[in-house]
Amino acid sequence: MQVIGNAIEKLENERKMMYITGGKVIGGITELQVPENLVIIGDIHGDLQSLFKALNGFAFRGFLSNPKNKIIFLGDYVDRGNDSIGVLYSLCCLKQKYPDSIILMRGNHEAPIEFPISGHDLPYEILENYGDFWGKLIYNKMILRFFRLLTLLVLVEGKLLLVHGGLPTEKIEPLMDFRRLIAYAQENHLRNKILEEILWNDPWRHSSAKRDWDYSTRGIGRLFGITISKKWLSMSETEVLVRGHEPCQGFKIDHKGMVITVFSSRESYPNYDAAYIRLSREQLESIHNGTDLSHYVIKIS
């Protein structure tokens, strides 16, 4: 699995150099200037066909040849679909060939050690394909290392705040505190709930002025209310939270346009649509909420 090793090297180099074309990398946070063109792809869940339908929809090779263009993947690349290995291989190939144009975020399915879930079937797929010895070696020594290097939060200057699941509900005061806490949330996940909430939280539709959050029916993570969204968008000086994590009809809007969910897998969710977002610098600079951003959603047919 040399391609995974090469992707790991690219991710480690970004963290060491604290740099990506058009932005900077600080631990688990990537901060970007507004890209020339931007694509955002949601949960894939082993659905290789939908992934390539999305990529081929905008001639991705030419798109990625310009390092000032970015594709941000929101996480949950594996499990549930028929080809998690193929999806991982494809994403690692893209990161290897176009390192400055590809940003790979971490989803809850990429944190199986920190938050074990019964639906994590990637190890069994690897064992079936590579045998017991090589399968365990690939998974434990390479894939888990790859997962730990994935981005937890992306900021697109003045416009977008991106996470896989949702926003932390704990009280955070100064601007620098949220950067520090999230940048090293992986290392501190036993001491606070930041990593868990970023990967597992969902928008709470029924929040009120009396409560900022509620417990999640998932049994892990929380539901974050509209006041949490307001606080985080204000702290990060952005206008829209973009996240994945929830199946929907391609996209959905929450919290009066402050939150947009994007979902890009169809294979394991036949009752839902799959979609991605694509827009230019000029279009991104014109948006002020999730409703504006939804005009650039493209369905995957």
Catalytically active residues, by annotation: 109
Q: Tell me how many degrees the CA angle 179-181-182 measures, rounded to the nearest 5.
A: 70
Name the residue among 102, 41, 26, 125 with its Cα closest to residue 77: 41
Look up residue 73 and give its two tokens: 């993947």
Query: Which residue in 89, 91, 80, 92 sits closest to 47, CA to CA?
Result: 80
Distance CA 166, CA 220 (A): 12
| Torsion 106-109-112-115 (CA) sign | positive
Strand partners, 39: 71, 278
Q: Give residue for tokens 């365990």.
A: 136
Which 3 state secondary structure label does DSSP give 48? helix
Q: Which residue has the tokens 């597992």?
A: 200
Report the distance separating Cα 149 and Cα 164, nearest Å: 15
Burial (CB < 10 A; 0-12, 13-18, 19+), residue 171, is exposed
Place of tokens 């999640």: 216
DSSP-derived letter for residue 127 is H
Q: What is the 3-state secondary structure (H, E, C) of 80-119?
A: CCCCHHHHHHHHHHHHHHCCCCEEEECCHHHCCCCCCCCC
